[in-house]
Amino acid sequence: MALDIVIMAAGKGTRMKSARPKVMHRLAGRSLLQHVVDTAAGLKADRTVVITGHGADQAEAAFAGAGLAFVRQEPQLGTGHAVQQAVPQLHDEGTTLILNGDVPLIGAGTLARLVQACGGKSLALLTVVLDDPTGYGRIIRSGDPVGGTVEGIVEHKDATPAQRHIQEIYTGVMAAPTAHLKRWLAALKNDNAQKEYYLTDVVAMAVADHVHVVATHANDETEVLGINSAAQLAELERRYQRRIADALMEAGVRLADPDRIDVRGELVCGQDVEIDVNCVFEGRVELGDNVRIASHCVIRNCRIEDNALVRSFTHVDGEKSGARIGRGAEVGPFARLRPGADLGEDVHIGNFVEVKNSTLAKGAKANHLAYLGDATVGERVNYGAGSITANYDGANKHRTVLGDDVHVGSNCVLVAPITVGAGATIGAGSTVSKDAPAGQLTVARAKAQSLAGWTRPVKAKK
C-alpha cells in the first residue's frame, strides 16, 4: 500500500515579522521544515510532497537534491486549497499523511501510529487536549465530548461560544485514504468566515460517506506545537532543549544547570561527563568518559576523548573535516580550534591560542597567545607565547613540521614551508624561513644596539 506524505509549507508567517519564510526559521540549529522532513524520512514514504508558497525559491533551494517533490500554492487560499495543489503528485490508492512544516517536533512514532490507525480505510486525526485551545480547530464529537464519535472539526474563528470551551483540538496532522481524500478535496467550499478552503471540512465529508473517523492522541503538547511568532519559536526552543537535558541527565551526564545548555545537533556522552552552564554543541559532538566542559564553550563537530578538559570560553569548530581533542588534553580558556585541529594525548592549548589544520603529538604545549596553522607538531614540543606559523604566502598554504622535543621561544615567526628538526631550539624573537637543524639553537634576529644621547620626540608646545 502506497504511503504519500504531504508537508504544508506555504505560509508567510506574518507574525514572525521576517523576510525569511516561516518554515526556514531555525530551531536547535535546523530549519523548522528540516525537522519535519527528517522525521518524515523515517516513515519511508513512497513520495514526499512539499507545498511551498511565500519564499518558495528559498525553501526549495534549501532542499535541492533531497528527493522531495515540490508544488506551489499561489495564492494561499487555505489549508484545503494547499493540499489540492498536491493532488496530481499523489498515488490513486493507499494512505496520504498530511503534516505542517511549522510543527517541528512531531515524533516519528506518533506519525507511525496515525498511519496505522488510518490503514488506508479510516480518516485518522491527530489530536491533543490543551489547557488553552485558543486559535486551534476544535474536535466535535457526538454524545460523550471525550469518547464520542468524531463528527467534525470547527475552526476557532467559526466556533460558537460553547464550542470554544472544547479543549480537544486538531493538531493539523491527519492520515487519510488517498482515493477518498482526492474526492473530498475536489468538493471543498469556502463558505466560512475566512472565505478559505479548509482541509478540516473533509471530516464532515468522511462522516457523510460513512468512512470511519478516528482520533489518535499525541504523546504530549510539545510535539504538536506550531510556530507563528518569534516568542513561540523561543518557547519551543527551550522546551526542546529541556527534553535533551533531561535525557542527558537520565544517562548520567552532570549538567550544572539543565536550563542553560543548547544542543543543535547530536551530543553523545560517555560516563561521568560534566558540563557547566551556557555551553552550545553543534553538529556531531562526542564526549568520552570523564570529560569536563567548563562554562560558555561553543563546540561543533568535534570528538573529545577520555579525561580531557575544555576550559571556559573555548570555541571549537570542526566544520566538515572535524576536530579532535585527545585523551587527557587540556584546552583553553579562550582557545580556538578550527577545522582539522587534531590534539594528541596530554596536549595543552592555552588562552588565546588558535589551531587550524594541525596535528599536535603527545605532550605538546602551546600555552599562550599563539597560532598554529597547517603544522605537524611532534611530542613534547613547547611552543612559545606570541609565536606563529606563517603558512600562507598570499596564494597557497604551506606546512610547518616541528620534530619531537622542539622548543620555540616567544614571539617567533616560522615561515612555511619549514622543518625544525627534533630537539632544536628557536631563539625568542626569531623569524625563521629555512629549515632548522636537529639539536641546535637557531636564532634569526637583528643585533641589539643602544644609542647614547638619543632622546624621545616631544610634542611642540602651542
Contact 366, 355 (CB under 8 A): yes
Residue 238 maps to a domain: no
- Is the residue at 231 inside a domain? no
Q: Is residue 419 part of a domain?
A: yes
My answer on whether 283 and 381 are in the same domain is no
Same domain, 333 and 409: no
pLDDT at 144: 67
Domain extent, residue 308, equals: 253-357
Alpha-helical runs (H) found in 327-379? none
Please indicate whether residue 368 is annotated as part of the active site: yes
Contact (Cβ atoms closer than 8 angstroms) between residue 106 and residue 226:
no
Q: In this structure, is residue 160 part of a structural domain?
A: yes
Distance, in Å, from the CA atom of 23 to the CA atom of 11, rounded to the nearest integer, reads: 8
Chain-centroid distance of CA 33 in Å reads 12
Is the separation of the CB atoms in 298 and 277 below 8 Å? no
Residue 195 corresponds to which cell in the numbers above?
472565505
Sign of CA dihedral 194, 195, 196, 202: positive
73 shares its domain with 184: yes
| 348, part of any domain | yes
Last residue of a domain, one of 310, 325, 357: 357
Domain-located, residue 425: yes
Give the dihedral of Cα atoms 15, 17, 22, 26; nearest 10 deg. Answer: -110
The C-alpha atoms of residue 237 and residue 245 are separated, in whole angstroms, by 12
Residue 208 and residue 81 share a domain: yes
Q: Tell me, yes or no, whether 278 and 393 share the same domain.
A: no
**Considering 156, 217, 315, 368, which one is annotated as catalytic?**
368
Query: What pairing do the DSSP bridges indicate for beta strands 168-177 and 123-129?
Result: antiparallel
Q: Is the peptide bond before 333 cis (omega within 30 degrees of 0)?
A: yes
CB 389 within 8 A of CB 403: no
Q: Which of 178, 207, 224 is the last residue of a domain?
A: 224
Q: Are residues 375 and 347 in the same domain?
A: no
Instruction: Give, for all 462 residues of the chain, the pLDDT tens digit.
Output: 899 999 999 988 899 999 999 999 999 999 999 999 999 999 999 999 999 999 999 999 999 999 999 999 998 899 999 999 999 999 999 999 999 999 999 999 999 999 999 999 999 999 999 888 888 889 999 876 666 788 888 888 889 998 999 999 999 999 999 999 999 999 999 988 788 999 989 999 999 999 999 999 999 999 999 999 999 999 999 999 999 999 999 999 999 999 999 999 999 999 999 999 999 999 999 999 999 999 999 999 999 999 999 999 999 999 999 999 999 999 999 999 999 999 999 999 999 999 999 999 999 999 999 999 999 999 999 999 999 999 999 999 999 999 999 999 999 999 999 999 999 999 999 999 999 999 999 999 888 889 999 898 898 887
So what's the pLDDT on residue 233?
97
DSSP assigned state of 31 = E
Examine the fold and report which residue of 224, 244, 276 is the final residue of a domain before the chain moves on.
Answer: 224
Q: In this predicted structure, what is the pLDDT of residue 307? A: 98
CATH of the domain at 152: 3.90.550.10
Both 332 and 395 in one domain: the answer is no
Query: Quick one: 332 and 376 in the same domain?
Result: no
Residue 370 pLDDT: 98
| 261, 168: one domain | no
| pLDDT of the residue at 336 | 98
Nearest residue to 185 (alpha-carbon basis) of 88, 110, 116: 88
- 375 and 353 in a single domain? The answer is no
Contacting residues for 451 by C-beta, under 8 A, at least 6 apart? none
Which residue carries 469518547 as its cell? Answer: 147
Residue 68 CB neighbours (<10 A): 18
Residue 193 pLDDT: 79
CA distances in angstroms from 145 to 197, 213, 221, listed in the order given: 26, 15, 19
- Helix, strand or coil, per DSSP, at residue 58: helix
Residues 178 and 257 in one domain: no
- State residue 368's pLDDT score: 96
User: Residue 60, Cβ neighbours under 10 Å: how many?
Assistant: 16
* Same domain as 383, residue 351: no
CATH code at 276? 2.160.10.10
Distance in angstroms (rounded) separating the CA atoms of residues 21 and 387: 47
C-alpha grid cell, residue 444:
634569526
- Number of domains into which the chain is organized: 3
**How far from chain centre, in Å, is Cα 172?**
24
Cα Rg for the chain, rounded, in angstroms? Answer: 31
Q: Which three cell numbers stand for residue 308?
A: 580531557
Is residue 392 one of the residues assigned to a domain? Answer: yes
Q: Is residue 362 part of a domain?
A: no
- 366: helix, coil or strand? strand
CA distances from residue 292 to 32, 304, 306, 307, 312 in whole angstroms, order as listed: 32, 10, 9, 7, 10
